[in-house]
Chain A
């Protein structure tokens, strides 16, 4: 039945193959432009690779990181990562010091994208990192400058979980030194408590009419 009515519906008389293909191409183009310009959910079709663990979930929102076709800037990263970078040991403060300023020639350490790239192969931690990143400045550590680190691998610094590039407050030698040999359970085991102070002794009786029709509650 369906095939017969389809037959009687002579599409050929209205459309030929050329106009059909042309129409489809135009529709596809309009859709692509709309997706690109209006930030629709389907923007994920423009993703060039697998999104990192941290950025996964909102990767269809290109404008979150990209301002048109410009390079991703530190400002874009800081929109979300500012709090985490507040104690950046490799931050601006470090490289304003003339002892370290020239190290920026080895690696542009003040530009997020010098080390971090999205959409490329991951090393299980944040956005893409070169495993031997630290060697741009700290090669000496594993080549005799520090006896305890002789012969360590180039990527071991952070892949082994011992060092953090940005915030090393809780993994620094000083921190470990101060907290060695603690018992499994500390003598005082207590998490912060939350105290809510009441301003009235008992709950008032809600009067919806007064609240919503007569102004103030």
Chain B
């Protein structure tokens, strides 16, 4: 049949092309319709799994139920995928600080969520398209922060400092405590240093809240020393460690070898004042 068609007859080709295009368009349209339905539809099994996770959560014991997050408070409409604003209605400090850090600043500025693909640091290729929202790190139904404190970070972060955490002394402390709903006060996790717990005496009557601005303690480095390291370590040990880039990269694999001269200068000053 093909042979019988004249080469110089564009109308034949046009007809075929038009049908091919139409076919493709219809196929992609219907695929487009099917895919979100599959992604958004929740099966009975998934629903009961979420319910079980929620039942064991701190939310369930604080009377935060399905509708607390999945229902619009004004219109009472069902909200299938609550966003950070839903979390913000209770976790104001956590959300506000998240929005100021590297993870949340794009949302703060009205842009699409950050994805690891946009990062300058090394990220795991399979995580490149993950969108940084509250639920990127938190299991929103179990609200268990044990996973959010290390596992969630290592889902994306692939630089040496992050990868070396698992063999560090800090990780040993975390592992020794066993699996808990949230890291204990003796555990040192990624979040301990990068999303530090802060005691809010003035605003929340001594409540401990987590600062979710993940860049806050990074620079200047002394902020990390005073707000985090010095919960456990002496000042000189902490400063001599944190200003040694190699030691930071190894995730503090050994005691510091650096000896900052500032301390000797202050020692001279002290001896002078004390008349030694």
Contacts and interface: CB of A to CB of B under 8 A. Distances in A.
Interface in B218-251: 219-223, 225-227, 230-237, 243
A203 B227 CA distance: 36
A177 B270 contact: yes
A214 B76 CA distance: 11
A190 B186 CA distance: 6
A167 B55 CA distance: 45
Given A41-B112, A61-B111, A179-B235, A126 B65 contact: no
Interface string B171-196: 00000000000101111100010000
A186 B233 contact: yes
Interface string B193-222: 000011100000000101000011001111
Q: What is the predominant secondary structure among interface residues of chain A facing chain B?
A: loop
A110 interface: no
Given A148-B268, A180-B236, A212-B67, A189 B231 contact: yes
A164 B222 contact: yes
Interface in B93-116: 100, 102, 105-106, 108-112, 114
A181 interface: yes
Contact of B13 (A5, A84, A182, A217): A5
B109 A180 contact: no
A185 B232 contact: yes
B231 A190 contact: yes
B164 interface: no
Nearest to B213: A83
The size class of the interface chain A forms with chain B is 35 or more
A184 interface: yes
Given A177-B269, A192-B199, A211-B66, A56 B233 contact: no
20 contacts: A4-B7, A57-B118, A58-B109, A84-B216, A148-B265, A162-B262, A173-B266, A179-B234, A180-B266, A181-B234, A181-B236, A185-B237, A189-B232, A190-B231, A191-B185, A191-B186, A192-B197, A203-B56, A211-B67, A212-B71
Interface of A: 1, 4-5, 8-9, 39, 41, 53-54, 56-58, 60-61, 64, 80, 83-84, 125-126, 148, 161-162, 164, 167, 169-171, 173, 175-177, 179-186, 189-204, 206, 208, 211-212, 215, 217
